[in-house]
Structure 1
Amino acid sequence: MKDQRLIQKVEQLSSAGCHYRIEELATIYSPDLVIHILQEDSSLLTFDYQQNLDFFRSLRDSGASPLDTTADFNLAEVQNGTGFVTVTRILDLGAGPKKIIFNLFLEETSEGWQIFREQAVILGDA
């Protein structure tokens, strides 16, 4: 059974990110966030908390249209106090629609569940 608390938190993350609500993203992501993105050519991009917020801020400031929030939750569970969510999405970040699998790691803090690590694999054209 999928943990609805985690699904709700990731849905909140998706909505905030796709609509460029930077202040909300700043509370959903942990300040010690690390993001790794495995690209189609097998190269690896890494972002920290500030770089991630700057990315969303640049999209907002450029007038980018909101992104699609559609998500397929493959996994949402808590084990030993850590939340694990795997979600499949189709996003167009400027290179056409791509199928992307996100693995999110969450910890429960005084701010509620926060994402402290994110790994994404871009599979290719959707």
Structure 2
Amino acid sequence: MTAVTKSRNSVVKSLTIDEANFIRGRDLAVAMLEEADDLQMNEPDATCPFRAYRDGKAQIRFTEAFLLQLIADPSMLDGFNAVLSAKLGDQCDCPASYYALSMVEYSAGAVGGDGTMSAPLNQEPLRTGVPA
């Protein structure tokens, strides 16, 4: 079974339902990370766990709307999980869009196979905070 979807670069292609669900979950997680990036830039202490840093204001818990979407449609879990695992386990200060990769890029397989990146050190974006 296939679904037709528009990718982030507006190219229409046929995907399996699993791939379409993965992309929807991936995009949901990327949107959540983009909102986190925006908060960090514009209101850096808004999500801090310590009240003193928030000047007594309530913590902004921006993740709830995204998590409720995921709970409502668990078919997106794989893509959402892939992005959050990558972001939380990664030691770089990368923009959220860095994680908007294909399902095969997050899966096991031959490096460079299935259109995946073949030479990460030569192709990936600049990673700050990681020793060379």
The TM-score by the shorter chain falls in which range? under 0.3
Structure with the higher helix share, 1 or 2: 2
From the CA coordinates, give the structure whose radius of gyration is larger.
2
What TM-score do the two structures reach when normalised by structure 1? 0.27
What TM-score do the two structures reach when normalised by structure 2? 0.26
